[in-house]
Amino acid sequence: MNIFCKSLILVTTQLTLISNIYCQIPLEQKMMARIVKEVWVGGILHTNGLGLNYSAAKFKTYKKKSLINVDLVNVKHDKEYKIFGSFDENAKKFVYGKLNSLYSLRVGIGNRLVLIEKLRDNGLQVALNYSVGPSIGLIKPVFLEVFKYDVSGQIAGISLERYDPELHNFFNIYGRGPWSAGIMSTKLNPGAFLKFGLEFEFSTTREIINSLEVGFSADAYLNSIKLMVNNPQRRFYPSLYISCSIGNKFY
């Protein structure tokens, strides 16, 4: 009788342990599934400039999420180089030969696929993010402060003018105009973009997002854009990027 009782207790204990082991994974998945939405913001450093990002993800399955993102980035020409236009230390540096500034406003939809999930709260999660959507090119003309001369050839003052390579040169450019100059003359150029990258999420708290993403993006516009004098117009602007983000997860 004692042997039977001991055997029964042993079998019961083993079944309990096995049950706990098999029930642990669904319980963890259920706890993670309680997080239904993620929102994060970040800064972007890419091969053509800088930018800001807003993203939101909604869970489809345990490892797949729908993704919405909004990017605002500036796009520089690879031959841009700032110089001083006068000997006045108060003058602002400007890019000689730059006709327009380009900013890209992107609104994309896509997916976020978890490739490697965290084994613990302070672990590392690796995900693939990809999105496509419209990209609106904001083309703002460059304004410069230029010297104005009187009839005797003496400097009479400084005028804010839109850069014209036929009129403005090293000898009459004082410096860069204020950034706000030219906003009312901004033109829109519709286009599209695609973006994909690997995201490394390393926060130590489940509800917090701290991540680093590296990837590739490309913008293509309906009309060619001329940024610099004596350089061809372009419609296609590819770039590599790295972004740092912070955010929250919501139940």
How does pLDDT run along the chain (251 residues), one tens digit per residue? 444 444 434 434 443 444 444 344 454 454 545 778 899 999 999 999 999 999 999 988 878 899 999 999 999 999 999 888 766 777 888 999 999 999 999 999 999 999 998 877 778 999 999 999 999 999 999 999 998 888 887 888 889 999 999 999 888 899 999 999 989 999 999 999 999 999 999 988 888 899 999 999 999 999 999 999 999 999 999 999 999 999 998 87
Q: What is the value of pTM for the model shown?
A: 0.81
Task: For tokens 């003018």, name the residue.
Answer: 161
Q: Does domain 34-250 have CATH number 4.10.91.20?
A: no
SS3 29: helix
Biggest CA–CA distance in the chain, Å, is 123
Return the structure tokens found at 164. 């014209």
* Rg over CA atoms, the chain: 28
Buried b (16+ CB within 10 A) or exposed e, 53-65: bbbbbebeeeeeb
- CA–CA separation, 125 and 119 (whole Å): 9
